[in-house]
Each structure stands twice: as structure tokens, then as C-alpha cells.
Amino acid sequence: MAPLVAFIAVVALGSPTSASAQPASPGRLQITWLGHAAFEVVSPKGTKVLIDPFLQGNPKTPAAWQDLKRHHPDVILVTHSHGDHVGQAAAIAKQSKAQVVASAHLVRSMAIPDAQKAAANVGGKLTFDDVTVHLVPAMHGSSPGGRPVGFVLTFAGSKERIYHSGDTWIFSDMALIHEIHQPTILLLQAGGGPFNQDPSVAALAVKKYFRPRHIIPMHFGTWPVLEGEAAVRQAFAGDKRLLLLTPGVPHSF
């Protein structure tokens, strides 16, 4: 379990840690942060991927996005079994007929039709139209429901590669995640508190193991137990790759 705060993406001239939210552009990759660890990703071809859809009960999810009827993903990804990540995955899957990707034990335990259970494990990959989902390790808990994972998303015809870390602490196999997948966009847990890595450790993980073009912090500020935006800014001070998103506002790449 861990949290994330709503940030305001502001253009601050001369500030290396701010960036403006950009409107969606057809034919480009689009990422919308929905608060905490939840994201909607739309591929250049329009394939919709929902990640860790903890929306209802999430204080950082805009009200309009908490309406489950608005969600029609092709694929739902769940990093681990904790409620602030599984969220409304089953309910959204049932209404949208989306495939749900998670570690095998977790997805097989979910109350959704078997045809929608896309079981996989670390090192595996699944392809949905122009989106390929690679499962990578995460250093956390996931009980009940198997081991925690992260995801790397690649897109046909695009150089962008997204790494969603899930809940994790820094670990040396991040070097292999970079070597094998070379993610260009990091969706990185940076909330701290009793369950997750501090913002400074998240920044160290980037420094030691990754060479992205964009760093998007997540899972902070959702509740008081987590670090807030100020601590995240301080940890990544001077890094022009830091991109603070506003929940509900799409950003195109």
C-alpha cells in the first residue's frame, strides 16, 4: 500500500521540475494520471490501457473520473493485490469486457469471467493490438494474490516505452529492467511512509539505474502518511526530466 498526491502541472520558466499538461493529440501517446498509482494510457493507435484503477475512494481522483461508466479500456493492468491498486479493476472489467493482466495467482482469484483473465508472471509479455505489456519484478508485498510486479509498455511505431514501477523499493535488478527495456518514461513510486521508498530513494533509483526522458512521480500525497509534492520536488531538484501531472489532465508525448 502507498500513496500519491495530486500535482498541479504548471509551466514555470527556468524551473527544471515543472512541466505543463498538454492536450491529447491523435496519433501520439497519451498519459493521464488519475491520482495515486492509477493511470490511463492511450496508445498512438488508440488502444486504452488502465493501470491500477483505484478510483472510487481515492481522494486524488477527480470526481468525473470516479464514474466507472466513463471507463472503456481495452486492457487493465494490476501491479499487486492491495486495495489501493486493485481498486475497481473487476467492476470496470465486467462492464468493458477488458482483459485484465496481473500475476497469475492474483488474476485467477479475481471475480471476472475466465476469458478476461490474462495471467502472466515476471519475464512474460502479452500483446494487445499495438501495445505489448512486459512484466518485471517489484520489491513489495502482495498477499493474498501472488507476487507484486511492475509493467513496461511498448508501442508499435513509437519509440516511447513506459515503466510503471508499481509499489517498490529500489533494487539492483532495475539495472536489468533498463538494459532490457530501456524505458523512456518512468511512472515511479515516490511516496515514502511506512510502506514505500522515500522520494530521495526514488531519485537515487533513477540516478543509478535509468536514463529516461521523463520522470513522472506517483503514489505520493494521497494521504497524510505519505510524502507530499514539496518533498518530491526537493528530491528531484535540478532534474529537468521531472514531470508533475495534474490528475485528470492528459499529457501527450
Q: State which amino acid sits at residue 44.
A: P
Of the candidates 251, 233, 181, 216, the one whose C-alpha atom is nearest the C-alpha of residue 12 is 233
Residue 70's pLDDT band, with cuts at 50, 70 and 90, is very high
How much is the pLDDT for 12?
31
Q: Where are the domains of the chain?
A: 30-252
139 has a pLDDT exceeding 60: yes
CATH match for 30-252 among 3.20.20.70, 3.40.50.300, 3.60.15.10, 3.40.50.720: 3.60.15.10
Closest CA to 189 of 167, 209, 173: 167
In single-letter form, the type of residue at position 168 comes to: T
Q: What is the pLDDT of residue 141?
A: 65
Return the minimum-mean-pLDDT range out of 74-78, 138-142, 179-183, 233-237: 138-142
Name the pLDDT band for 226 (thresholds 50, 70, 90).
confident
Least confident window among 1-10, 139-148, 155-164:
1-10
Contact indicator for 88, 55 with CB cutoff of 8 Å: yes
pLDDT of residue 8: 30
Q: Are 183 and 167 in contact (CB under 8 A)?
A: no
- Look at phi and psi of residue 164 and say left if phi exceeds 0, alpha if psi is from -120 to 50, else beta: beta
What pLDDT sits at residue 25?
A: 65
| R_g (Cα) of the chain, nearest Å | 16
Cell of 110: 479475481
State the pLDDT confidence band at 142, using cuts at 50, 70 and 90: low
